[in-house]
Structure formats: structure tokens, C-alpha cells
Amino acid sequence: MGAVSANLRVLMMFSVLTAIFVAIGWVVGTFFFFGDWVTGAIVFLVIAGVLNFVSYFFSSKIVLTSYRARVVNEAESPRLYRIVRQIASTAGMPMPQVAIVPSMNPNAFATGRNPEHATVAATEGILQLLNDDELTGVLAHEMAHVKDRDMLVMTVAATLAGAISFAARSFLWGSMFGGGDRDNGNFIILLIVAITAPIAAMLVQLAVSRSREYLADHEGAMMIGRPMALANALRKLEAGNKARPMNMGNPTSASLFIVNPFRGGGLVTLFSTHPPMAERIRRLEDMAGGLRR
């Protein structure tokens, strides 16, 4: 029931993102095409479709390249390869590609559109920081993302949110330079929608990401039957990421990683792609207690 409930929440969030996208299309169409909101919506739906196509087929390669990840075989990284293979065998999943990211930031991520085209990547930092039990917990979390096709879910969410932001920026820049029908009495309302829609889309995207992280924590822990392996790893990763934040890549891809690799604090936590670490650990500890009973 937990997985079904989480998937229903994600479906609802995508519905909200689509509604926001239609609203921003209405804004652009009404203002720039003199009341023809249908044209605006169709134009940006086509753009979103193209972006989704590119993201679906090429996002994995783009992500691996941006972090200079190197695909390795068993001879090159026997410890990492062995652990991933054990988890894949236990979960009855295809063996994914294994990659190493040349960064001392302790982290890991998975990418790929489905279990047959997946890559699990670990940084050099996490391989040094964690023992085998903790590393198994982290990689099981990533394999849970692969199993649930979360990379595809997050790609679609990011694409829709990005399309909304693009549409809003187009409207705002156009209005600043005198474009559109300024005599329209709804201009103020349209302007408010254009400003607030990207913020709302970002918050929905973050909610999608957080819900998938909780689910991957749970499913990864159940794969190996040791919730505390991941809980102990998360404690180390929280401290390790604060001490050595990522110095490559783009913060927009933070949702891929098991822990946000980019430095942030204060109000930034409101817009974090990951759930509060204390809550993630608490849930894993509760799972461990339940398994012992």
C-alpha cells in the first residue's frame, strides 16, 4: 500500500504540474496572441514534448558526462561491482552499468530510463567514507530508484517545471519590452500568474523528489533487510557533504543524488530536493525496530 500511495501522490503532482503548464500557456497566449490562449498552450506543449523526448533517450548520457563519470568493469572496481551485483541478484533485477565519479564529495546516484538501461554511479569520496555494510545500504537505495523508474519520473517532472519557467520568462521579457496586448484589462492578473507559476511548479517538483526519496529509502532497506545500514550511511553522508560539497555539475541535478551534494542552508532547505535527513533516519530506525519485533 505504501508504494501505491506514493505513486498516486506522484500522479496527482504531475496533474498539478500540467494544470500550471496550461495556466502559463493561457497567460502567454492571451497576452501575446490577443486572446488566443489555445495557441499559447499548444506551442509550449510541443516544446515540452520535444524536451521530454530528449530527456527520455539521452538524459543518462548527459548526466554521466556532466559529472565526468567513468563506466567501470569488475576488474577496475571489484568492491563496487560486487556489491551492486549482489543487490541486483537479491532483487531479481538486471545488472546495471557501474560508474565512478571523480569527486571526493561522498555521494551516489542512479540514472537511466528503465532497469534495462540503468547506471549506478558512486563517487570516489563515498567509496572511501563508507564500510561495505553502509555502502550496500546506499546502493540498494539507488537500485530501488532504478526498480521504480524514478529517474524517468524525475526527468518528466523537471522537464515540465523547466517548460513552465521558460514560458513565464518569455512572457515577462516580452512584457518588459513592450510586447503583447497591454490594453488587456487582465494584464495584472496575467502578470501575477506568470510570476507565481514557476514558483509553484518548483515546489511541486520538489515534493515529487522528496516522496520518491522516502520510497527508495524504504524499498532499498527492504531489499537487503538491514534498514540501519542505510541509516548509518546517511549520518556519515550528511556530515561528509557539508564538509566537501560537489564542485562540478549543476544544482538542478541535485535530486539525482542520495544526499544533496551542493552546499545550502537557511531558507535554502525550504527548496531542498531531499527530505529532512533526521526524518529519513527516524523512519529507517522505526523500520529496523519493526523488523526486530
Please give the single-letter amino acid code of residue 187.
F
Instruction: Measure the CA angle with vertex 138, ends 290 and 89; round to 5°.
Output: 85
Instruction: Measure the CA angle with vertex 8, ends 56 and 149; round to 5°.
Output: 30
Distance CA 221, CA 184 (A): 56
| Residue 180, helix vs strand vs coil | coil
Distance CA 102, CA 282 (A): 31
Which residues have a Cβ under 8 Å from the Cβ of 136 and sit 6 or more positions away? 83, 86, 87, 224, 226, 229
Cβ proximity of 64 and 111 under 8 Å: yes
Nearest to 248 by CA among 266, 261, 265, 264: 261
Catalytic residue check, 213 = no
Which residues have a Cβ under 8 Å from the Cβ of 220 and sit 6 or more positions away? 137, 140, 141, 142, 143, 144, 230
Nearest to 59 by CA among 225, 250, 211, 243: 250
Distance CA 19, CA 41 (A): 11
| Residue 258, helix vs strand vs coil | coil
Catalytic residue among 74, 76, 124, 142: 142
Residue 257 is given by DSSP the state B
Active site amino acids: 142
